[in-house]
Chain A
């Protein structure tokens, strides 16, 4: 029981904290479709938590519940020990939960730099009036944010495209810019929906390295949806497995890998 509240040490020596978010009996319906059926699990502070499952299992829906884009039909979300009321996505973002999208949602008309700067909107203090009347302070603040953004640009190795309009970038780089924008918010929790989908091996390796590094350096909690099992096994501390909206497995990667239900789901064994 103590481990539940106190956290644990990983094999590679990272310290995982107590429960940061708890999802209790989440059900999500779209008209007749039940995308999530009574699922409960928790996410610990500093953990890399993967959600896996076949297509249409409800993984993205789950992430959308966490990020406030969907309100669960039943069940409750607890963050830092408090039950979260119905929230709009922008309010969830202001709590320090940043995300990327399965189908990339960037501001195509803006430069890479501007895109990443939008990630800092929630951290900017200067309001409308102070910006209009007190240029000095607002400009100073802008500089500070710029500095932080440049660090992220360096970290993700995208210095050479910082002025390029995002719409012109190839897919793999777009994914990286989207991650940069999410990071710019200095999130407590980062939600990544298939961050490596459609990437080549080299791009995937880079992305894995970034995810591990930022978790290690900043202690960011990461919830990750991924189809590549190799990646999931390498990165994650614990894995939730979903199938047809239900949770069929939950635990460390090697434990989950040997779970019969999970093997069946992936091999397409018929359900009874």
Chain B
């Protein structure tokens, strides 16, 4: 096979893997949008907050240490213990569920029956609050996240492709893990939503509030559930992105990568988020590969949006999105 083609194939594979990462973030948006019609601006910050909390718990950081020290004149930063990754992840999940309950009790509960734009603005408020709150709680410095996921280039893939084509593909181990996790996550969410009692209730709420109430579903419980699941997805995304590039403010900007994915896949479709993520991932990597050198590179920053815009013109509801209803 010609080198150019093999190289393009490698780029494409890398694009697929990047796409999975985008899809992970987009998934969080879709879940909340489907169940409550809210575009959750805070989803990216949720991932940042989850990653910060995970690192903090793992390393035995004292929450609000800065605040405590400032008030009491002490100089504590760490408890002096470390928490095993698995336990730390579970504890972080607990924190995300608690956060979901707080959000429902303090914000959503009071905004029932408000127009979507009000709810959207509330999530903007939440995003900035949570960003600051995360800083106060865990400190604003850049942190390294290591939950024991394999790092570096996969030698298995490299040697296998080398044997096959005489050209070894460079694929990140972490990307492979992320792909497997994403597949498992989507499978689990699909099974949950199709076959469990709560999943059915969740779909019912997403479809019609009145009817959901009439069959005995508590909207508030479902909202807490949805935000908890979104928190869980944010945690997974936070772990993957945090392991890749460290835990810092820029992690919350992955939400910006999810936006074109949503425009492409539709706001209401889980498969749409996945396929949209893959198209964007592959598209931007291939475009950079072929057109980047011609127009001076750095196309990855904007290509996704252009692709999504072009798409939007022809299919406003996205690939798999439901037809746009005037009510939305």
On A, residues with C-beta under 8 Å from B are: 67, 69, 88-91, 93-94, 98-99, 101, 105-110, 114, 117-119, 121-122, 124, 126-128, 131-132, 138, 142, 181-182, 185
Q: Are A101 and B207 in contact (CB under 8 A)?
A: no
Which listed residue (A91, A101, A121, A132) contacts B200, Cβ 8 A? A121
Q: Are B195 and A109 in contact (CB under 8 A)?
A: no
Q: Are B204 and A118 in contact (CB under 8 A)?
A: yes
CB nearest to A178 among chain B residues = B211
CB nearest to B211 among chain A residues = A105
B208 within 8 A of A: yes
B197 within 8 A of A: yes
Q: Are B214 and A101 in contact (CB under 8 A)?
A: yes
Interface string of B117-129 (1 = CB under 8 A from A): 0000000000000
Q: Are B213 and A90 in contact (CB under 8 A)?
A: yes
B313 within 8 A of A: no
With the chains together, A237 CA to B26 CA distance in Å? 56
Total count of chain B residues near the partner, CB < 8 A: 24
Enumerate 17 A-B pairs (CB-CB under 8 Å) in ascending A order. A88-B213, A90-B213, A90-B219, A107-B211, A118-B201, A118-B204, A118-B211, A121-B200, A121-B201, A121-B204, A121-B215, A128-B225, A131-B196, A131-B197, A131-B198, A132-B196, A182-B214
CB nearest to B205 among chain A residues = A107
Q: Are A109 and B200 in contact (CB under 8 A)?
A: no
With the chains together, A90 CA to B219 CA distance in Å? 8
Q: Are A181 and B215 in contact (CB under 8 A)?
A: yes
Q: Are A105 and B201 in contact (CB under 8 A)?
A: no
With the chains together, A47 CA to B127 CA distance in Å? 54
Q: Are B204 and A108 in contact (CB under 8 A)?
A: no
Question: Taking each of B201, B208, B213, which has the highest tally of chain A beta carbons within 10 Å of its own beta carbon?
Answer: B213
Q: Are A121 and B216 in contact (CB under 8 A)?
A: yes
Within 8 A of A (CB), among B170-222: 192, 195-198, 200-201, 203-204, 206-208, 210-219
Q: Are B200 and A88 in contact (CB under 8 A)?
A: no
Q: Are A121 and B197 in contact (CB under 8 A)?
A: yes
Which residues of B are found within 8 Å of A93, using beta-carbon distances?
213-216
Which residues of A are found within 8 Å of B212, using beta-carbon distances?
107, 118
- Min CB distance A87 to B, Å, is 11
Which listed residue (A91, A109, A128, A181) contacts B196, Cβ 8 A? A128
Q: Are A105 and B210 in contact (CB under 8 A)?
A: yes
Which listed residue (B203, B216, B218) contacts A107, Cβ 8 A? B203
Q: Are A122 and B216 in contact (CB under 8 A)?
A: yes
With the chains together, A122 CA to B196 CA distance in Å? 13
On B, residues with C-beta under 8 Å from A are: 192, 195-198, 200-201, 203-204, 206-208, 210-219, 225, 322
| A124-B207 contact in complex given A90-B213, A90-B217, A109-B322, C-beta closer than 8 Å | no
Q: Are B213 and A101 in contact (CB under 8 A)?
A: no
Question: Taking each of A118, A124, A138, which has the highest tally of chain B beta carbons within 10 Å of its own beta carbon?
Answer: A118
With the chains together, A107 CA to B211 CA distance in Å? 7
| A118-B200 contact in complex given A93-B213, A101-B210, A109-B322, C-beta closer than 8 Å | yes
9 closest residue pairs by CB, A with B: A93-B216, A105-B211, A122-B216, A107-B207, A89-B213, A105-B210, A124-B197, A90-B218, A131-B196
CB nearest to A95 among chain B residues = B216
CB nearest to B210 among chain A residues = A105
- Min CB distance A104 to B, Å, is 9
Q: Are B217 and A121 in contact (CB under 8 A)?
A: yes
- Given A90-B219, A119-B215, A127-B197, 15 additional A-B pairs, CB 8 A: A98-B214, A98-B215, A101-B210, A105-B210, A105-B211, A107-B204, A107-B208, A109-B206, A117-B200, A118-B215, A118-B217, A121-B204, A126-B197, A142-B195, A185-B215
Q: Are A94 and B197 in contact (CB under 8 A)?
A: no
- Min CB distance A147 to B, Å, is 16
Which residues of B are found within 8 Å of A124, using beta-carbon distances?
197
Q: Are A110 and B207 in contact (CB under 8 A)?
A: yes
| A106-B197 contact in complex given A69-B213, A90-B216, A121-B215, C-beta closer than 8 Å | no
- Min CB distance B16 to A, Å, is 30
With the chains together, A131 CA to B204 CA distance in Å? 18
Q: Are B197 and A108 in contact (CB under 8 A)?
A: no
With the chains together, A106 CA to B207 CA distance in Å? 8
Which residues of A are found within 8 Å of B208, using beta-carbon distances?
105-108
CB nearest to B221 among chain A residues = A90
CB nearest to B225 among chain A residues = A128
With the chains together, A118 CA to B196 CA distance in Å? 11
With the chains together, A119 CA to B197 CA distance in Å? 11
- Min CB distance B65 to A, Å, is 34
Which residues of B are found within 8 Å of A114, using beta-carbon distances?
200, 203
